[in-house]
Structure 1
Amino acid sequence: MQSKVIQIGEKAIDIKEPMIILFDDSATEPLQQVSVIHRFIEPQEWFELADGDRILFDEQEYRISYIGNHVLRNLQSIGHTTMIFKNWDEERLETSIYLTPHILPTITDGTIISYRKKD
């Protein structure tokens, strides 16, 4: 499963906030300002993501430490999830993916986001 970054909102990346909000191009203008807009590359093979699976931003690899129950449905319908690059606590967001390492990836227009099952 892969998507391509097509737009980065003016307020989408902030090193003080270790997260990236993803939406597809149906996002409203206010959401586009704070989001990374991406488009899935066809043909799409959907699969359940799980703890330990990997997400790559181009060649930058991250491991899923927690994935919320609503992530896959939201990704399929509106291309939405929030990727969080810090430890999760008791109040995990069910629309979010928590990733390690806890460093924001470098993202540019054209970045390919790849979702891969653990080996």
Structure 2
Amino acid sequence: MQSRVIQIGEKAIDIKEPMIILFDESATEPLQLVSVIHRFVEPREWFDLENGDRILFDEQEYRISYIGTHVLNNLQALGHTTMIFKNWDEERLETSIYLTPHILPTITDGTTITYRKKD
């Protein structure tokens, strides 16, 4: 499963906030300001994401340490999830994916986001 970044909101990336909010093109203007807008590449091959699966931003690889119960439905319906690059705690967000390492990836227009099953 892959998507391509088509727009980066003016306030979407902040090194003080280790997260990226993803939406597809249906995001409202206020959401576009704080989000990374992406478009899934056809054909979409949906599969359940699980702890230990990988997400790549171009060649930058991250592992899923926790995935919320609402992530797949939101990705399919709105292209939406929040990717968080820090440890999760008891109050983890069920609409989010927690990733390691805890470093924001470099994202530009055209960045490919690839979702892969663990080896």
TM range, smaller chain: over 0.9
Structure 1 moving runs of 4+ over 4 Å: none
Per-residue deviation at 1:51? 0.1
Distance 2:31 2:100 in 1: 25
Asked if 1:84 is matched to 2:88, the reply is no
Where does residue 21 of structure 2 map in the other structure?
21
Unpaired runs of 5+ residues, structure 1, are none
Distance 1:48 1:88 in 2: 20
Unpaired runs of 5+ residues, structure 2, are none
- Give the TM-score normalised by structure 2: 1.00
Asked if 1:104 is matched to 2:111, the reply is no
Per-residue deviation at 1:107? 0.1
Asked if 1:115 is matched to 2:111, the reply is no
Distance 2:67 2:98 in 1: 6
Where does residue 73 of structure 1 map in the other structure?
73
Query: SS of the residue aligned with 1:21?
Result: strand
The CA RMSD measured in Å over matched residues stands at: 0.2
Per-residue deviation at 1:37? 0.0
Where does residue 95 of structure 1 map in the other structure?
95
Per-residue deviation at 1:18? 0.1
Query: SS of the residue aligned with 1:98?
Result: strand
Cα deviation, 1:89-113, whole Å, max 9, x if unaligned, reads: 1101000000000000000000000
Where does residue 49 of structure 1 map in the other structure?
49
Distance 2:72 2:90 in 1: 21
Distance 2:49 2:89 in 1: 20
Report the residue type matching 2:17 in the other structure. E
Where does residue 6 of structure 1 map in the other structure?
6
- Give the TM-score normalised by structure 1: 1.00
Query: SS of the residue aligned with 1:10?
Result: coil
Matched length: 119
